[in-house]
Amino acid sequence: MTRTADLRDRGEMTVLVKKKDADISIEDEQEYTSVVDMDPLIETYRDVYAEDLEKRLQIDNDKLPPGLGVATLLNPMFGLKPKVIGSELMSDEQYNNSRADLVCQMQDILDEKAPAVYSSNSDSDEIDSDDEVLPLQQNINYKIAEDEMIAFEKYKKKKYHPTYIESKSKVLTGEEKQIWVGPPNEAGKDLPSTKNLCNYIVKKTGRFDLLKFFFDHKHLFPTLWIVVQCNASRRVVEVGCERFFGLSGYISSPRRTRLGVRNYERIAMLASILQNVYIDPALVANEYLRRCKAGMWKKENTEEALKCWNLERVLEAKSLGQSLPAELTMDDLVMEEHDSSQGVILEDED
């Protein structure tokens, strides 16, 4: 709460967005434009976090994870390939790879039900060639999966999509196409199955119920119905707690039995966020000097920290099978920190 209050008191120079008009009414104060000015530390953290998120989700790769690519293709409300690419949900290469992965999943399901049967395009089994080239063969199950996918794509046409209430819906805007998400305003044409896409949109959230749709059409798309059930429980979330629990187990070593709960918690949290959160060297140096001037450092704390550091070096050497290092003195610790420092060096005027 204290940090939140400090951010609010910094003034207009750190405001992330500004209103369209200075005389705008209170009712419209949620309408904002692009970023005007941003605190340097917040801006740096934003860039680091966005880069890390992009790397972990692989959203910039030619091949998207199945939870993103295949799930998008299974939703008829996203439309056909031109609409998906035009709304910038996927690139052309990402769409092609995701569609190929989906058809392969369908083929694997069919192969489990029945042995793969191959058909040949050649009229004769004998080939008059010195290279003895085998005739081109194709898995019939692949053709069945491809035909089912083509039949499903007919249900994605624009004429079947409902219109939306713009004031209550959100839009994914690209350079060429738009995809609306929200409560429908008017239903589109009925599907060839006499069903309507509008009936599968949850009114409260405006999201499409894939399970209900494919359950009603499982006689038309039996393989896709199985794929949807397999993907129904998948959620695109970031479970950072699992990584944190695993890291905490390494920190809680039997050789650290004297480590207090509070210090253990601090070390575990620091080890977890150190590689993910940007820490400004100038901010750390200023905080160190502030605590020195305020007399917040005690000799007992420094000696205890030195003991812990010597123990950590011993544990690391044993885990790597190396010889035990010599015990550091206080002067050695100060010199080691000074030599390894790559941050901003601030001189104390006092």
- Long-range CB contacts (within 8 A, 24+) of 169-175: 169/206, 170/206, 172/87, 172/88, 172/89, 173/87, 174/86, 174/87, 174/88, 174/89, 175/86, 175/88
- Backbone Cα Rg of the chain: 30
pLDDT score for 148: 94
pLDDT score for 238: 52
pLDDT score for 294: 84
Q: Give the domain ranges of the chain.
A: 64-118+139-231, 241-340
pLDDT score for 134: 59
User: CA-CA distance, 18 to 7, in Å (whole number)?
Assistant: 16
pLDDT score for 243: 66
pLDDT score for 103: 93
Contact 201, 209 (CB under 8 A): yes
Q: What parts of the chain have a pLDDT lower than 70?
A: 1-43, 45, 116-137, 173, 234-243, 254-257, 272-279, 333-334, 336-350
